[in-house]
Structure 1
Amino acid sequence: MNNVIPIHYDGQPVRFSSDGWIDASSAAKRFGKEPTAWLRTIETVEYVSALAEALFGKGVSETDLKKLRLMESRGKEAKAFTLKLAKTTGLVSTKAGRGGGTWVHPKLAVAFARWLDVRFAVWCDLHIDALLRGELPGKRNFDQACKKLAEGQRKASQHGRALANWKREKRPLERDVEVAREQFQMILGLEFS
């Protein structure tokens, strides 16, 4: 994710995307918590589902919510199921590796932040609002630079694939040229150098 903006809270950076998503993993870490602990509660899944329904017209199915309520809430199966349901809403994203972690949609970020700390939640609310309204100085330039970088990466990836394909195709094509040259030389009785 190239469009990450660290904004300092209490002297430490909190990572946001320029469109308001929060890096829940790093935010939770500063409070000694894990975002999955919050995402795995039935109440959170119900809230995420209701929010997804309001935003996108589709949340978690009532069948899945009933199934979740019937499960033993502390069991491994229930925890895995609640996390899966939260991720299917499109309001939670997880990514492994550098720049990864659990990212939470801006409409969900304040509810998550409130679970961490009330003052942190207020701070998040104000900064997410400023991000989404474009009120932070330099945001437009940052967004344009991120867009150009992403486009360059996309083009490089396409060219990289084309180069890899060319490397695979080159030798057989060179052999075809040599075979055709030899056949042509035999027909004409001439030699080419």
Structure 2
Amino acid sequence: MENILTFPCKTDHAPGKDWLHGDELAEHVGGTGKTAAQWLALPETQEYLAAMAEHLELPTAADLYAHKPDGIWLHPALYVCFARWANPTFGVWCDGQIVAAGGYYA
């Protein structure tokens, strides 16, 4: 893959973390006013978080996000899932990238 996406939003570069500010990520991918709080409130999101926490061997799904004074921060494992929800057009673009990389139909 030659295309590299950059995200001009707040990051938390604490040791072992490259978390992104959820609402800024949504805005960057052309979100339609959707927020990280709305996404986290969805039952489907809670199912996804539980599965991801189990996959990453984290104690709880809540270890994948953090509420801070300036907003909700997301674990790197959530970037694409959240961004796809924030903007379905971005989700379609993601699918195209997977196909271009030889996925889905390979």
Report the alpha carbon displacement of residue 45 of structure 1 after superposing the two structures with TM. Answer: 0.4
Looking at structure 1, the residues matched to 44 and 20 of structure 2 have their Cα atoms a distance apart, in angstroms, of: 20
1:119 aligned residue: 90
Match of 1:92 among 29, 49, 65: 65
Instruction: Give the helix-richer structure, 1 or 2.
Output: 1
**Which of structures 1 and 2 has the larger relative contact order (alpha carbons within 8 angstroms, sep 6+)?**
2
1:17 to 2:12 alignment: yes
Secondary structure at the aligned position of 2:67 is classed as strand
Report the alpha carbon displacement of residue 35 of structure 1 after superposing the two structures with TM. Answer: 1.0
Moved over 4 A (4+): none
Looking at structure 1, the residues matched to 59 and 48 of structure 2 have their Cα atoms a distance apart, in angstroms, of: 13
2:101 aligned residue: none
For residues 119-174 of structure 1, the C-alpha deviation after alignment (integer angstroms, 9 at most, x for no partner) is 3784xxxxxxxxxxxxxxxxxxxxxxxxxxxxxxxxxxxxxxxxxxxxxxxxxxxx
Aligned residues: 81
1:28 aligned residue: 26
Report the alpha carbon displacement of residue 57 of structure 1 after superposing the two structures with TM. Answer: 4.9
1:52 aligned residue: 53
Distance 1:33 1:58, change over 3 A: same
After superposition, the CA RMSD in angstroms is 2.4
Unaligned runs of 5+ in 2: 1-5, 95-106
1:40 aligned residue: 41
Question: TM-score of the superposition, structure 1-length normalised?
Answer: 0.36
